Amino acid sequence: MKDDRALLQEALQEAKLGLREGGLPIIVARGHNLRVQSGDPTAHAETVCIRNAGRRRDWHELTMVSTLSPCIMCTGTALLYRIPSVIVGENRNFLGAEDLFRSRGVELVVLDDPECIEIMAEFVRQHPDLWNEDIGL
């Protein structure tokens, strides 16, 4: 659990970078949500992170860390690359396809982190138009 929280702190730093850029404060590893900045509706944090990771053969040894529960697209991307472990900061503001992860044997840890909950809730309050144009509805 301590290592999970340390990984989440790294994810939060990246999420805050995305927020300062005017994007959504959602992050996975080292790639934050770039949907707003790039105009690419598929540029969710998880897909950006996987794209940034490049070609590799060790996906089955990696852990994906996200401040928010991954949507169905991002869940599918993680499953495609057979990422075996996912750490989620929070799922109160959005409950993604966690049941799909579990059904495929992915180890899923939801930390219910207060800072993740607050940063996302504040974003949704301040920017409902951005939130609702994608997975918010």
Give the catalytic positions in this structure: 46
CB atoms within 10 A of CB 9: 13
C-alpha atoms less than 13 angstroms from C-alpha of 90 in its C-beta half-sphere? 17
